[in-house]
Structure 1
Amino acid sequence: MKWEEVIGQDLIKQQLKDSIQKNRISHAQLFIGKSGYGVLPLVLAYASEILCKDSQSCYKQVSSLQHPDLFFSFPTINNATEKKEAVSKDYITKFREFITENPYQSINQWYEFLGEDKKQGFISVKEIENIFEKLNLKSFEGGYKIQIIWMMETMRTEAANKLLKILEEPPTQTIFLLITEDESKILPTILSRCQAVKINRIEEKEITKGLKDKYSLSEDEINKISTKVEGDWNLAVALQKNNELQEEFERYFIQWNRAAVMAPKQPVYLKQIVEWSIEISGWGREKQKTFLQFCTEIFRQALLENYASNILVNTPLTYKNFKWQSFSQFVHGNNIEDIINEINKAYFHIERNGNPKIIFLDMGVKLTRYLARKKD
């Protein structure tokens, strides 16, 4: 990764560049800040500058997390089916994929990526033993060896004590670049051995520039996102994705409700509901759950619109000039409870790995009855 690929953070970039140019690279540095502020991208750019000396092939190796003198440690989760304790080398391929996609991602996203979001990862004693073995080997390129430890706060106390000994007597030409979001969870003795580098939020103007450069968004959309994220690029990316997802969800919601309104008079529309349920059944379960939450909110907003509380409506559907006010007349006090209950029931069964084709078809058909009810 190169400096220009990092969003904003010009002051820190210059400080790190100066430390290289003046040959004042501390052997142990602790980078402190939220993932979304660009801590890991800064560390990768810093490592690139130290290792590569304008070598393009070297930059590519660092960007893909495959440079022979660049090592990574990060929280891992033991697999219940395996007896051995998990370490970073067991997950390195997945970690490369995860970071290459977006190096601003958080630790919770890492757990979700692994499909282990209900468990907590950690950095073990065995991991530190592996670090010691790797760093005692000669440098492949003949220069520095760099060890990056991502999310230091997940390191167990015994592992931290073992790492401390390495920091006190590091192998020659070895640099430790440690990353944390919460230094209060790190042993004071380790803190005392490291040069602290605090990473603050990205300036709003830099978030705005990044969104303009990377995504096809309107000025209004960019300004809304930049204002909301408080200097967190990871959150900006998530909101941008949600913007794309919003349009897709609107399309499927409208398709479903148009068919549900028409089906009691023209049963041929039931076929559209069947096709709709088959398409959605092909989504991942997290996306299906998010769509159901979206549907709940849209029905709630429609109810507000129907009862002349439109001042409280903040998410009216706009996809292809959808007639929002006309649709809202179908949602009222005589059916809203059943509609919401049906969606909640579908969410419950999706969470428990029910068959999505059956779940969405059942919910889709029942809506035809609920929307046909007359308002009291």
Structure 2
Amino acid sequence: MWRIIGQDKVVSFLGNSLGQDKLCHAYVFYGPSGVGKQRMALTFAQALNCQASQPPCQECLVCERILSGNHPDIIHLELLSAEDASDGKAKAEIGVKQVEDIQRAASLPPFEGKYKVFIIHHAEKLSQESSNRLLKTLEEPGSLNIFILLTADKSLLLPTVISRCQILELRYVEINLIRDALLEQGLAEEKAELLSHLSHGRIGWAMEAASNPEILEERKANLEKIILVLGQDEEERFDYASDISNLFAQNHMAAEAVLDMWLAVFRDMLLLKADASQNMTNIDYKDILYMASDKLGLADIRIAIDNILKARSQLRANANPRLCLEVLMLSLPLVKEGL
């Protein structure tokens, strides 16, 4: 039983490949961050090694160990954190030595299971040299090795790597399916409704947020700061731009997530203008955002959305973060009264 929500096409393909003994030696699972790529990879690893007549059973010791990360034949390759790196510095790329380690592991037979499964997280972070080393392994992988590359953007992988893999896309999941899955886990109806809207179709994110209260706490702090900045003048906005610029220097993804929240706020205002609040993201801030939208015209909101998208694009193109964010803050409309 795969227990994967909203990815029926991929589950069907993998299940049929396993049942017909037509497995590929390498796969790329691609799709937005938080959409459930890691869970799909782990479930596929379970299906490959489960001893039940209809794998994955999700109940045997093998399935449990794989899901908990304690199976010796399921090997994860990730960016090194500062704690794991020998020089004490977090890495921006997956290095050659890491790939050499899995090459050595791939040269040995499975310790316990039917297959060794190598799961490469953020595969787009493979350096050029690492990708070329991996390519040699993919050309002669061995019959009992399965490689799964996870990425949000398959276009960032080397074409030669892509050509040796089966490509499978994981798509956004419908909000109602995410809500129902959260309810089945015993989550309160109000929280399940909120998380399903906040998820933007990313079921992996929703499941993580359901079990980690810090995610919602951080989101609340960021959202309330956004609402505060909407009512502030240039000096405060420059200070805020400086804070986000500093965050960008430390963690690009975290800073982009803040910009995505700004985008969601103005998108919600646009939906409120169109009497389509059922499609809002920040449903718990509906009243506040309604008051804000009431003070803005449609043109103001659309221009704000365009400017946020432009700033995000410029940051990805290595524009000066401080200058880019200051220009953005000055371009956003002022909503001072009533918030």
TM-score, reference length from structure 2: 0.58
Instruction: State the 1:78 CA deviation.
Output: 4.8
Aligned equivalents of 2:206, 2:104: Cα separation in 1 = 39
1:230 matched residue in structure 2: 200
Q: What is the CA–CA distance in structure 1 between the aligned matches of 2:154 and 2:120, rounded to whole Å?
A: 13
* Cα distance in structure 1, aligned partners of 2:140 and 2:229: 63
Contact 2:25 2:143 in 1 (8 A): no
Q: CA deviation at 1:42?
A: 0.8
Structure 1: stretches of 5+ with no match in the other structure: 87-115, 250-286, 302-310, 317-376
Task: Give the structure 2 partner of residue 269 of structure 1.
Answer: none
Shift of 1:242: 9.7
- Where 1:206 maps in the other structure, the secondary structure is helix
Work out which of the residue numbers 117, 127, 142 in structure 2 matches 1:171: 142
- For residues 228-269 of structure 1, the C-alpha deviation after alignment (integer angstroms, 9 at most, x for no partner) is 5331124435776899998xx8xxxxxxxxxxxxxxxxxxxx
Counterpart-to-counterpart distance in 1, 2:96 and 2:215 = 42
Instruction: Please tell me whether residue 212 in structure 1 is matched to residue 183 in structure 2.
Output: yes
Q: Which residue matches 1:60?
A: 64
**Aligned AA (1:3):** W
Q: Which of 102, 118, 125 is residue 147 of structure 1 equivalent to?
A: 118
- Cα distance in structure 1, aligned partners of 2:208 and 2:146: 33
Displacement after TM superposition at 1:144 (Å):
1.4
RMSD, matched Cα: 3.6
Question: In the aligned structure 1, how far is the partner of 2:133 from the partner of 2:214?
Answer: 47
Shifted more, 170-179 versus 158-167: the winner is 170-179
**Amino acid of the structure 1 residue aligned with 2:76:** F
**CA positional deviation for 1:293:** 6.9
Q: Please give the per-residue CA displacement for 1:275-329, whole angstroms capped at 9, x wherever unaligned.
A: xxxxxxxxxxxx6x9659747847989xxxxxxxxx999556xxxxxxxxxxxxx
Rounded to whole Å, the distance in 1 between the matches of 2:112 and 2:205 is: 37
Q: How far apart in 2 are the matches of 1:245 and 1:65?
A: 22
SS of equivalent residue, structure 1 residue 12: helix
Query: 1:200 aligned to 2:204?
Result: no
Q: Highest Rg: 1 or 2?
A: 1
Report the CA distance shift for 1:76/1:206 in structure 2 as closer, same or farther (over 3 A): same
Q: Give distance in 2, aligned partners of 1:290 and 1:147.
A: 37
Contact 1:77 1:121 in 2 (8 A): no
Report the 3-state secondary structure (helix = DSSP H, G, I; strand = E; otherwise coil) of the residue aligned with 2:206. Answer: helix
Code of the aligned partner of 1:213:
E
Query: CA distance change for structure 1 residues 42 and 238 in 2, over 3 Å: closer, same or farther?
Result: closer
Percent of pairs with identical residues: 29
Task: Write out aligned runs for 1:99-178 (5 A).
Answer: 121-141=92-112, 143-178=114-149
CA–CA separation in structure 2 for the residues paired with 1:66 and 1:239: 23
SS, match of residue 148 in structure 2: strand
Q: Report what 2:28 is aligned to.
A: 30
Structure 2 counterpart SS, 1:212: helix
Matched position secondary structure for 2:163: helix
Alignment partner, residue 45 of structure 1:
43
| Equivalent pairs, count | 231
Q: Is the contact between residue 32 and residue 180 of structure 1 (CA under 8 Å) also seen in structure 2?
A: yes
1:172-200 deviation digits (Å, cap 9, x = unpaired): 31111111111111111101111101111
Structure 2 equivalent of residue 16 of structure 1: 14
Deviation for aligned residue 1:35: 3.2
Q: 1:299 to 1:228 in 2, by over 3 A?
A: closer
Query: Does the C-alpha gap of structure 1 residues 181 and 217 become closer, same or farther in structure 2, counting only changes over 3 Å?
Result: same
Aligned-pair CA distance for 1:45: 0.4
**2:49 is paired with a residue of what secondary structure?**
helix
Query: What residue in structure 2 maps to residue 362 of structure 1?
Result: none
Per-residue CA deviation, residues 115-143 of structure 1 (Å, 9 max, x unaligned), is x9xx6632100001101111112211262
Matches within 5 A, 1:74-89: 74-78=78-82, 84=86
Point out where structure 2 has 5 or more consecutive residues left out of the alignment.
Answer: 53-58, 232-271, 274-284, 289-339
| Shift of residue 79, structure 1, vs aligned partner | 5.7
1:3 matched residue in structure 2: 2
8 Å Cα contact 2:109/2:144 also seen in 1: no
Q: Which amino acid aligns with 1:51?
A: N
Q: Using the alignment, how far apart are the partners of 1:213 and 1:299 within structure 2?
A: 38
CA distance in 1, matches of 2:20, 2:122: 28
Partners of 2:28 and 2:149 within 8 A in 1? yes
Query: Offset of 1:214 from its aligned partner?
Result: 2.6
Distance of 2:168 and 2:211 partners within structure 1: 31
Deviation at 1:146, TM superposition (A): 1.1
The 8 Å contact of residues 31 and 170 in structure 2, kept in 1 or not, is answered as yes
Question: What is the TM-score when the length of structure 1 is the normalising length?
Answer: 0.53
Supply the distance in 1 between the matched residues of 2:124 and 2:287 (Cα, whole angstroms).
39
Aligned equivalent of 1:259: none
Tell me the alpha carbon deviations over residues 55-81 of structure 1, each in whole angstroms, 9 at most, x when there is no partner: 71111110111112111101114569x
Find the aligned partners of 1:242 and 1:27 in 2 and give their Cα distance: 35
